[in-house]
């Protein structure tokens, strides 16, 4: 319900904040006014009560006539000191007022120019001050033993004057706060609009096709800066995916031409072949070519899914040493058949990830070693813990690669010149890099004097939740 009545625009929000602030200030001012007003009235009532109690005590001890004489004396000799509890008030010509009546109701003493108020407390009693000005008093009307009434009153001028002072002070403060608050709200609204305008301009440029455009930062690391950094990270990710898509499109157009031409040639040969047996042989070769193309597309789709980071939802704790051990046992017969040696130097380490992807990553590196090394080559899989990370290394003693190819071998469809005649499309190590990145790690070639050493750095299970995927 609240979100329906909340303003949707910055201008409306600023106006709402200003109105709410004004309402709060008004309520605080009203509360302050009532508190001070009631406090002064209580002080006046206390003074009246003290005065009335003293006069009643005098009446009890000395009688009615003595009370009349005392009240007349007080009326004649009242001074500002008699009303010192009204500190801060203009009390010139003002004092306590009294009325004493006998049992018949006839006034016997007191110069209070007012009618006798009803019994008890009266908050507003009209009277005329000694200088003839109309005024209001607070009064108490108490009975006298044996009949008669005693009225003690005090001028309310101090209450009225304090009310006026509070009202003037409140209006001045309210006006000042309203002006300053309105200026602050307007300034805040303008600041927000300016920041949003820059973000809007960058977004429009990106929508127009400038994917290199980013949200501006002011270095404050405050809310807008943090939002801009998050948006820039998102845009970096989008640009990376778009670049990958462009690269895939370009690579597909280039690398699929050869297998498609081979497939077409197989089919043409089958069409021209005279004997049925030769036709079957050509068609079988064409089917193999088609299967290779399907495998290629499957690999491309798998890499795209991995690079999209959707696989992170399947992550769980994995005992890396167990995965390596199982895969090594599966590959050991192939290495022995190729005249190569596969050795392990691993320690128990737990990571967070997708078990199948980790297996595929390691399998691709072992397949790469089988395809590009000769008999007698040693291949070693090792792990090492490093400051919250694990280094998974696959090293061989084969021919190695040139220094200039160390980065290129992880690119999509990258094939070195001496491996052009080998089967495959150059996606194996590209998938290794994608899997490492999806797990928040990275892959690199370690320079060595002999052979090829590929190292994958992955966060261990204690750090995988805090590392952003690279």
Q: What is the pLDDT of residues 73-113, one digit of tens each?
A: 887 765 444 433 333 334 344 457 888 888 888 888 877 77
User: Residue 209: helix, strand or coil by DSSP?
Assistant: coil
All residue ranges of the chain with pLDDT < 70 are 1-14, 77-95, 128-132, 248-256, 273-274, 308-309, 414-425, 462-470
Closest CA to 177 of 295, 23, 299: 23
Task: Give dist(CA 198, CA 323) in Å, integer.
Answer: 50
Residues in Cβ contact with 100 at an 8 Å cutoff, skipping those fewer than 6 apart: 67, 68, 71, 107, 108, 109, 110, 144, 148, 149, 150, 151
Closest CA to 143 of 180, 106, 102: 102
Q: Which CATH architecture has domain 313-459?
A: 2-Layer Sandwich (3.30)
Q: What is the pLDDT of residue 412?
A: 72
Residues in Cβ contact with 442 at an 8 Å cutoff, skipping those fewer than 6 apart: 433, 436, 456, 457, 470
Structure tokens at 1: 């319900």
Buried residues in 445-465 as b, exposed as e (16+ CB within 10 A): beeeeebbbbbbbbbbbebbe
Closest CA to 103 of 173, 167, 150, 156: 150
* HSE toward the beta carbon, residue 193, CA cutoff 13 A: 12
Interval 441-468: pLDDT, tens = 999 999 888 889 999 999 987 544 444 3
| Greatest distance between any 2 Cα atoms in the chain | 154
The domains of the chain are located at 4-163, 256-307, 313-459
Q: Which CATH architecture has domain 4-163?
A: 2-Layer Sandwich (3.30)
Task: Give dist(CA 451, CA 426) in Å, integer.
Answer: 19
This prediction's pTM:
0.52
User: Residue 346: helix, strand or coil by DSSP?
Assistant: coil
């Amino acid at each position: 319900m609240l979100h329906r009545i909340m303003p949707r625009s910055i201008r409306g929000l600023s106006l709402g904040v200003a109105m709410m602030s004004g309402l709060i200030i008004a309520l605080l001012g009203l509360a302050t006014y009532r508190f001070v007003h009631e406090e002064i009235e209580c002080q006046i009532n206390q003074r009246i009560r003290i005065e009335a109690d003293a006069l009643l005590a005098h009446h009890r001890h000395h009688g009615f006539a003595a009370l009349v004489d005392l009240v007349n004396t007080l009326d004649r000799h009242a001074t500002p000191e008699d009303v010192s509890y009204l500190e801060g008030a203009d009390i010139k010509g003002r004092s306590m007022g009294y009325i004493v009546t006998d049992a018949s109701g006839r006034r016997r003493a007191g110069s209070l120019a007012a009618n006798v108020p009803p019994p008890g407390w009266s908050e507003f009693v009209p009277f005329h001050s000694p200088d003839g000005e109309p005024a209001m008093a607070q009064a108490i009307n108490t009975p006298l033993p044996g009949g008669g009434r005693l009225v003690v009153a005090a001028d309310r001028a101090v209450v009225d004057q304090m009310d006026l002072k509070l009202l003037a002070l409140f209006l001045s403060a309210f006006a000042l706060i309203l002006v300053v608050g309105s200026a602050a709200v307007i300034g805040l609204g303008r600041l927000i609009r300016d920041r949003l305008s820059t973000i809007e301009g960058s977004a429009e440029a990106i929508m127009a096709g400038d994917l290199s455009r980013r949200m501006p930062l002011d270095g404050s690391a405050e809310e807008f800066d943090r939002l801009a950094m998050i948006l820039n990270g998102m845009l970096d990710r989008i640009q990376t995916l778009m670049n990958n898509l462009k690269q895939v499109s370009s690579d597909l157009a280039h690398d699929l031409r050869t297998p498609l031409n081979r497939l077409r040639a197989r089919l043409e040969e089958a069409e021209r072949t005279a004997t049925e047996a030769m036709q079957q042989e050509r068609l079988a070769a064409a089917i193999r070519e088609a299967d290779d193309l399907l495998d290629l597309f499957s690999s491309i789709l798998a890499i795209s899914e991995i690079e999209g980071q959707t696989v992170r939802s399947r992550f769980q704790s994995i005992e890396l040493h167990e995965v390596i051990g199982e895969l090594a046992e599966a590959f050991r017969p192939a290495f022995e058949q190729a005249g190569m040696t596969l050795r392990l130097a691993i320690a128990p380490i737990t990571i967070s990830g997708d078990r199948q992807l980790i297996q595929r990553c390691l399998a691709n590196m072992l397949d790469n070693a089988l395809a590009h090394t000769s008999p007698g080559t040693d291949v070693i899989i090792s792990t090492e813990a490093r400051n919250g990370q694990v280094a998974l290394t696959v090293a061989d003693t084969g021919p190695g690669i040139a220094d200039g190819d160390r980065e290129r071998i992880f690119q999509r469809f990258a094939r070195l010149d001496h491996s052009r005649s080998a089967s495959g499309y150059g996606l194996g190590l590209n998938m290794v890099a994608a899997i490492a990145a999806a797990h928040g790690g990275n892959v690199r070639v370690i320079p060595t004097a002999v052979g090829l050493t590929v190292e994958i750095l992955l966060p261990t299970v204690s750090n995988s939740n805090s590392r952003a995927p690279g």
